[in-house]
A = this chain, B = another copy of it.
Amino acid sequence: MAPDRRLRPATQSDVAREVGVSRTLVSFAFRGAPGVSGETKEAIFEAARRLGYRPNAVAADLARKHRSAVGLYLMDIRNEVYADILSGVRMALPQDGNRLILSVSRSVDGVDGGALESLIEARVGIIIAATLLDPDERVLELAQIVPLVSVTRPVAGVDSVYSDDVAGARAATEHLLSLGHRRVAHLAGPIYDGHIARRQSYEKTMRDAGLKPQTLAADDFTQEAGQRAATLLLTQAERPTAIFTHNDQLALGAREAAYGLGLAIPGDLSLVGYDNSRTAKLHGIDLTSVDLHAIALGQAAGTIALERLNDPEAPVADKRLTPELVVRDSTAPPAP
């Protein structure tokens, strides 16, 4: 039967007392610091095991006046992109050493739950945030409180890792235009200052082609919101022959809306998403989508976070990756 650690977890003092040495040695032993004889070390580990001692990383950070935990903020746990970013971040962090504390904003009910706040209170040393929706000034303020790496969105003066949304949205829009579409609509996410590059790039591309952009903002980033908004878009007098959406979830919603109205894809409506999620690849879905290389994004963010942790004075990082349009069967020339 294991010792009952529930009442009072063993501490370094307990281990020290058990072995008959000072707390310092126990501390040194556990951190692999030099200056502990092999024998003592053995004895310490032995006693620690027996007592069920586990280092208290939190107290250690407090004493060290140095926060080793990295906080990862994810905007939307239901979006695969964020799972990929998490994966990437993990790859970049050393196996042990840095603890990773997660915090997600909206999960299904749109409840924020003070996700960022909880990271700050947990006293992480740095926050990797994907995706921040706040205005730039607010992000800068946050970065003042705790070092921040902004992922998927560039913020001047703050370490940023992102995909070139301008290029991605342009590629998507041009793909539709090159197929012969003229009434190409854009289904945007909710309006947030920091998240409008795709929309702007779409609108510019349309105007450059001499066409009138039509953007509709959904009230959320979810499939349901996409369905609601797309229904509006598709029941207009002159409905668009193609829709480019801010993300795949919105595209899937638009897809449901189209089928609900009896429209075929790509026969009556071409559809381009953004994220290149796993669902987009399914047989029968075959959604044309822009891949933003989320795993690479996460990896870069993790690396930058580590550097920032080690050197607060390092120059601000600004890393931009190039997205890639993946063409599938949801896009085709418009019906004649």
Interface residues of A (CB under 8 A from B): 2, 4-6, 9, 52, 54-59, 61-62, 69, 77-78, 80, 82-84, 86-87, 90-91, 95-96, 99-104, 107-109, 111, 113-114, 118, 120-123, 141, 144-145, 147, 223, 252, 255-256, 259, 278-279, 282-285, 295, 312
Which chain B residues lie closer than 8 Å to A145 at the CB level?
5-6, 9, 52, 54
| CB atoms of A54 and B107 under 8 A apart | no
8 pairs of residues in contact across A and B, judged by CB atoms under 8 Å: A58-B62, A58-B121, A77-B82, A95-B114, A100-B118, A102-B104, A256-B283, A284-B284
Q: Specify the chain B residue showing the minimal Cβ separation from A6.
A: B144
Choose one: B58, B84, B107, B122; the contact of A90 (CB below 8 Å): B107
Q: Which residue, A62, A107, A259, has most C-beta atoms of chain B within 10 A?
A: A107
Q: Specify the chain B residue showing the minimal Cβ separation from A140.
A: B2
Q: Specify the chain B residue showing the minimal Cβ separation from A224.
A: B278
A44 to chain B, nearest CB (A): 19
Q: Specify the chain B residue showing the minimal Cβ separation from A65.
A: B8
Choose one: B52, B113, B122; the contact of A122 (CB below 8 Å): B122
| CB atoms of B122 and A58 under 8 A apart | yes
A6 to B91, CA, bound (A): 27
A206 to B264, CA, bound (A): 41
Choose one: B6, B57, B100, B144; the contact of A5 (CB below 8 Å): B144
A158 to chain B, nearest CB (A): 13
| CB atoms of A121 and B99 under 8 A apart | yes
Which chain B residues lie closer than 8 Å to A284 at the CB level?
259, 284-285
| CB atoms of B118 and A58 under 8 A apart | no
Choose one: B101, B111, B123; the contact of A87 (CB below 8 Å): B111
A198 to B282, CA, bound (A): 26
Q: Which residue, A54, A56, A102, A256, has most C-beta atoms of chain B within 10 A?
A: A102
A113 to B77, CA, bound (A): 18
Given A99-B122, A223-B278, output 18 extra A-B contacts at Cβ < 8 Å: A5-B145, A54-B145, A58-B58, A58-B121, A59-B62, A78-B80, A84-B107, A90-B107, A90-B113, A96-B114, A101-B101, A101-B102, A101-B118, A102-B104, A252-B282, A259-B283, A282-B285, A284-B284
Which chain B residues lie closer than 8 Å to A312 at the CB level?
6
